Amino acid sequence: MANGLSGQAAIVGIGATEFSKNSGRSEMQLAVECVTQALADAGIDPSEVDGISTFTMDNNPEIEVFREIGGKELKMFSRVHYGGGAACATVQQAAMAVASGVCEVVVCYRAMNERSEYRFGSGMQNTPAESDYETTHYGWYIPHGLVTPASWVAMSAQRYLYDTGATTEDFGRIAVAARQFAATNPNAWFYEKPITLEDHQNSRWIAEPLRLLDCCQESDGGVAIVVTSAERAKKLNKEPVIIKGAAQGACDDPQMMTAYYRKDISRLSEVNLVAKQLYKQAGMTPDNIDAAVIYDHFTPFVMTQLEEFGFADKGKAKDFIRSGQIEMGGRLPINMHGGQLGEAYVHGMNGISEAVRQVRGEAVNQVDKVENMLVSAGTGVPTSGLILGKG
């Protein structure tokens, strides 16, 4: 057996709050709302939850969520680091806990008022005298004015353009495609608000070569995912969505957002590491993937990911995108919910939900005959990924 994880666990429930710019309630309330909704979707009583996995960046303690939903015995609680890079890894933690028999029902969640209470886009400026590791790390960048995630990604993106001959219009095509899907998704913040390539090119600079429309939204919202064993999944409400691959990756002189010291900074080697593991676990190649959710905090890294996951050769994502392959009817439709550019920015967890809906066949922008979906997580940081599919 290639590994003991593939096919052992399934996603059986998804839940989400509305996505907004001001939820009007606490992050904790968002968390318990989406968690109970996901459990209801699965048809599992909240008292059965015995494992929890979330992000280190989430502000809602596992035990408090557990306590409020009436949990009885919590046997595994884990948090994954590196911002949005944690998204698919929370599901990997859940799958490993279930596959090993440690847990029966694991909930993964992310709930945040990232727009109304604090904004990652406003930048990092204050530092204590004797700093912890990560504050020290950002000290190499913030005195020069690189204070935001957009600015850190822009440095890699500029080199990508130079190395590949892609243009900022290619970034724009990704934004246009995402907003096209969002326009027909009533849950998307940008529902009925498509954009043109011209709109993209006319939007203001944030950190050249990134424009405003290359950057994901800042959102309030919560998303939860319920994982249990593939065996039990057969007896539940919804068609099981089998976890066929689940992987994390960090390699090649990794850094948090600023992997500027590796030889080739226009690649994302950690995404390649995740891809290799996923295909091996699932016994698949890119040919088996029908559609994907590609983490889109910033458009340039969507291009790099398409290359690292094997849908385009190095430097050729531009041709893949220009020929419409990421749109409906193309070789690999991506982000049919509108992505984080169009639906909402919930650190990638809303993308996992979309993949589940696609496999179940209940998405608003449903791709025909989906057998297997690829999902990626935050990039420019140590990352993670999933292959989800029909049983």
Partner 1 sequence: MSDQNNNSENKELEALMAETIGVKIGPHKSWDPVNQPMIRHWAEAMDDKNPRYTDPEFAAGTEEGSIIAPPTMLQAWTMRGASWKHAPGTKERAADQPYVLDILDDHGYIGVVAVNCDQEYFRNLVPGDDISHYMEIEGISEQKQTGLGVGYFVTELWTFVDQNDEKVGEMRFRLLKFCPPKEAPKAASKPAVESDDKPKKALRPRPGMNKDTRFFWEGLKEGKLLIQRCTSCQTLRHPPTPMCPSCRSLERDAVEASGKGVIHSYVNMHHPDLPAFDASPNPVALVELEEGTRLVAGLIGIEPEDVRIGLPVQAEITQCDDELALALFRPVSEK
- The closest of 203, 199, 206 to 157, measured between CA atoms, is 206
Q: Contact at 8 Å (CB) between 11 and 356? A: yes
Which CB sits closer to partner 1, 341 or 377? Answer: 341
Residues with a known catalytic role: 295, 345
Rank residues 52 and 206 by Cβ distance to partner 1 and give the closer one. 206
118 part of the interface to partner 1, by CB under 8 A: no
- We find the least distance from the C-beta atom of residue 127 to partner 1, in angstroms, to be 4
Long-range contacts of 60-67 (CB under 8 A, 24+ apart): 60/27, 60/28, 60/31, 60/109, 60/111, 64/28, 65/28, 65/31, 65/32, 65/35, 65/107, 65/109
Decide if residue 138 touches partner 1 (CB under 8 A). yes
Contact in structure between 204 and 212 (CB atoms under 8 Å):
yes
Neighbours of 202 (CB within 10 A): 12
Going residue by residue from 249 to 288, which x/- string records binding to partner 1, judged by CB under 8 A? ----x----x-xx---x-----------------------
Q: Does 151 bind partner 1 (CB under 8 A)?
A: yes
Our finding on whether 155 is near partner 1 (CB under 8 A) is: yes
- Within 295-334, which residues bind partner 1 (CB under 8 A)? none
Smallest gap from Cβ 303 to partner 1, in A, equals 16
Nearest Cα residue to 90 out of 238, 291, 230, 246: 246
**Residue 334: DSSP 8-state:** B
What CA–CA distances, in Å, run from 40 to 23, 242, 265?
A: 22, 19, 44
Q: Which of 18, 64, 162, 237 lies at the binding interface for partner 1 (CB under 8 A)? A: 162
DSSP letter (8 states) at residue 283: T
CA distance 130 to 119: 25
Q: How many chain residues bind partner 1 (CB under 8 A)?
A: 44
> Site for partner 1 (CB under 8 A): which residue of 65, 91, 94, 147?
147
With CA atoms as reference, report the closest residue to 50 among 129, 113, 106: 106
Token pair belonging to 268? 């994302």
| 148 lies in the site for partner 1, by CB under 8 A | yes
Give the nearer residue to partner 1 in terms of CB position, either 87 or 265.
265
From candidates 1, 125, 285, 287, binder to partner 1 by CB under 8 A: 125
Residue selected from 1, 126, 285, 287 as contacting partner 1 according to rule CB under 8 A: 126
Tell me, residue by residue from 195 to 214, as one string, x for binding to partner 1 by CB under 8 A and - for no binding: ---------xxxxx------
Cis amide leading into 254 (omega within 30): no
Binding of residue 365 to partner 1 (CB under 8 A): no
Radius of gyration of the chain (CA): 19
CB of 148 to partner 1, least distance (A): 7
Both structure tokens of 38: 């996901």
Q: Which residues bind partner 1 (CB under 8 A)?
A: 121-128, 130-133, 135-148, 150-151, 154-156, 158-159, 162, 204-208, 253, 258, 260-261, 265
